[in-house]
Structure 1
């Protein structure tokens, strides 16, 4: 098979490269950002995602970089326990750790950083460099995120909308705080809805934390580290003391403010010799906790059909046919969880787990 160009060196792009590597299919990755990306956020990976991930990462290496969570525990903002549910092999890992693991099997010469490519003349080459020259590839796998520029150029009539939720995500290394937290997924909810604080222990000294805001009630106007920290302390001042301690002691150098968008309707997953995976194909709002698993399944199934089918259009068609129904289920589940997030706690459905299952 001729070379595959993979656009984007995030989780979906690197997963795709690993599966291509496994099947000895030639490829090159183009990433427009710098290699050093330490933005403080991470992922929950359910059992199904672990099964796909351990096909390309040695399990012992993977599991030492994160932790399995025992329970999901829901609290009021003052710390009263509201609900509890056992978790079945849900794994937590930082984005930085997972990126490093996915990169280890890829030769450095197969990734070009700080390189932007665009959709070109599909009659000759599927992608072009910014200087107008052709990218050396016959197939383009696009994994450039939920606001994909290439997807927008191919489907100019698509409509994206901002979701009524923003997230602030960070990681703190503090042995004292971590020692007082079990390996549980803890989530605190404001009584009136539209504001949460989640805590996930990644290791003996590292915690991933995130806050979700109804962006119509809570507007984050200034995103500098100091102002964001002060805003967080003000908003969560009357919450459980552990939350204030985490916010106060965190370093905000690599904090991530996530403005969430979704497509009103999914585009096709491919056009001619360009195919989309992960968020570039189907943005999923964060309530699903299915971003990594969906990216892994996209990569695995697309590679499978590229190996099995001599006709790339047939391979792309089978990939879309297999993946789209499940993705649509996660989209519906995510919207239902978003609707509940906006409601007061006393209107929540009992024992809702913030993970979408098919």
Structure 2
């Protein structure tokens, strides 16, 4: 039976571990961060992703930690309704909650935290710990994020480019605001394009909000939380009153400024006995809302072929052949949605849903 090293204990790595548990395949996870150092805020998960989650997390437990969104509404910056669309089982959940639920099924001794994994340049397809110790594994599943160090080491010619969009993401706990939003996903748009403010409810008293900026028009740079809040209040001063209210009342201790990058061209999803899943294989820009679902599908399909095929390369080839075309569709859809975002409202297509469907 194959022994697997999983690099990264984020959504894709923990999902992979859950599927390996289900198939009784031996594994160990290595995570470079501390156990409680889990950056990020929340996710939208379409129905397809939920179907994969239900296979590894009890639905009743899962539904206690998130919220199904019923409707998506586009507004002008002043609150005029532009378009509405019913949502089909789109689930909102915080990153903290999803990480917690995925980790519950994993025995603590199967995860090593604060350990950086690096390629062994002396042995093809091998990885080692930061102290030089070889990792005893037949296969390495890499899930260390969009800027994967291991991917960049194996595919040295890759090019990552800055996307013309940056995001500020934050969470606010405020029952009054949560009640006013209801089970809806709402998004306000500047009439000249390139600036939006999205709001969705994660639970009874918790709201995730995010603002998207055309980073050629708006100078969103790494700065102190206090200066970021001040800048946000200036930018959104004359928008619908709900928005400056949320910005003002939010705690900026864990605010996340996201500078978005994408691979100009996808690498192969594997090399030798090393295989990539989730953002490590295929960074998706946020307009797709498909990051979690794609990670879930990657993990499910890779585990399926690893359990069916004795030959590792054959399993990897089948995994890549099944997943790559869909990922390329999402990448293309994301670029279309980005282009729409940058246009003035009068030039945008009606009712652009911020989720990529294959």
How would you bin the TM-score normalised by the shorter chain?
over 0.9
CA distance in 1, matches of 2:37, 2:132: 28
Aligned to 1:193: 193
- Deviations, residues 220-265 of structure 1 (Å, cap 9, x unaligned): 2342111111111111111110011111111111111111100000
- The alpha carbon displacement at 1:175 in A equals 1.0
Give 3-state SS (helix, strand or coil) of 1:357's partner: coil
Aligned to 2:155: 155
State whether residues 284 and 330 of structure 1, in contact with CA within 8 Å, keep that contact through their aligned partners in structure 2.
Answer: yes
Aligned to 1:249: 249
CA distance in 2, matches of 1:90, 1:183: 11
- The alpha carbon displacement at 1:125 in A equals 6.0
Aligned to 2:90: 90
Q: How does 1:301-320 map to 2 (within 5 A)?
A: 301-320=301-320
Aligned to 1:344: 344
- The alpha carbon displacement at 1:315 in A equals 0.3
Aligned to 2:240: 240
Give 3-state SS (helix, strand or coil) of 1:153's partner: helix
Is 1:209 the counterpart of 2:209 in the alignment?
A: yes
State whether residues 159 and 264 of structure 1, in contact with CA within 8 Å, keep that contact through their aligned partners in structure 2.
Answer: yes
Q: How does 1:260-339 map to 2 (within 5 A)?
A: 260-339=260-339
CA distance in 2, matches of 1:52, 1:211: 29
Structure 1 residues 164, 258: closer, same or farther in 2, change over 3 A? same
Aligned to 2:17: 17
Aligned to 2:108: 108
CA distance in 2, matches of 1:263, 1:124: 24
- Deviations, residues 106-144 of structure 1 (Å, cap 9, x unaligned): 011111111000111574762111122101211000001
Is there any run of 5+ residues in structure 1 with no aligned partner, and where?
none
CA distance in 1, matches of 2:199, 2:103: 27
Structure 1 residues 38, 309: closer, same or farther in 2, change over 3 A? closer
When the two structures are aligned, how many residues end up with a matched partner?
358
Give 3-state SS (helix, strand or coil) of 1:247's partner: helix
State whether residues 40 and 171 of structure 1, in contact with CA within 8 Å, keep that contact through their aligned partners in structure 2.
Answer: no
CA distance in 2, matches of 1:99, 1:251: 22
Is 1:2 the counterpart of 2:10 in the alignment?
A: no
- Deviations, residues 293-335 of structure 1 (Å, cap 9, x unaligned): 0000000000000000000000000000000000000000000
TM-score (normalised: structure 1): 0.98
Structure 1 residues 351, 124: closer, same or farther in 2, change over 3 A? closer
Alpha-carbon RMSD across the aligned residues, in angstroms, is: 1.1
State whether residues 125 and 134 of structure 1, in contact with CA within 8 Å, keep that contact through their aligned partners in structure 2.
Answer: no
TM-score (normalised: structure 2): 0.98
